[in-house]
Amino acid sequence: MKRSLLALCPRRWRERYGDEFAALLQDTPLTFAVVIDVLRLAVGLHLRARPRLTHIAAAVLATAAMEAAAVRAELTDNILWAPTTPLRALALVATLTPTALLLHSAAMRRIRRQEARAA
């Protein structure tokens, strides 16, 4: 089981810290809290290794969650709704904000890349 937990971590991290972490796991009793802690570590390492993918996934999940909340609150039947009340307008802004932030981040990255090439 401990070997399987170590295998959940990214390969590059295991190459650098795997032996030390394996020794630490060997000396640690395998409790539910330890398993959860190692799972959190592995997920965090994978997310940090792919920040762009993480941002895209977070934006998609946040947008889907806000859309689901708007449908459940009967503010809309689908994502195409008019902001006819303040609550509907707020829900629309909350639904679109993650995507807008993602697009802004991509645009800024592109501008920085172009400036670096020009310099």
Q: How many degrees, rounded to 5, is the angle at CA 16 between CA 33 and CA 44? A: 40
The answer to whether the beta carbons of residues 93 and 100 sit under 8 Å apart is no
Output the pLDDT for position 40: 96
Output the pLDDT for position 79: 62
Output the pLDDT for position 39: 96
One-letter amino acid at 56 equals: I
Output the pLDDT for position 82: 79
Q: Where are the domains of the chain?
A: 2-49, 51-118
Output the pLDDT for position 116: 94
- Return the H-helix or E-strand segment holding 4: helix 2-7
pTM higher than the cut 0.85 = no
CA pair distance 31, 36, nearest whole angstrom? 9
Q: How many degrees, rounded to 5, is the angle at CA 14 between CA 9 and CA 17? A: 120
Per-residue pLDDT of the chain (119 residues; tens, 9 = 90+): 888 999 999 999 999 999 999 999 999 999 999 999 999 999 999 999 998 889 899 999 998 998 888 888 888 776 677 788 898 888 888 888 999 999 999 999 999 999 999 98
CA pair distance 1, 22, nearest whole angstrom? 11
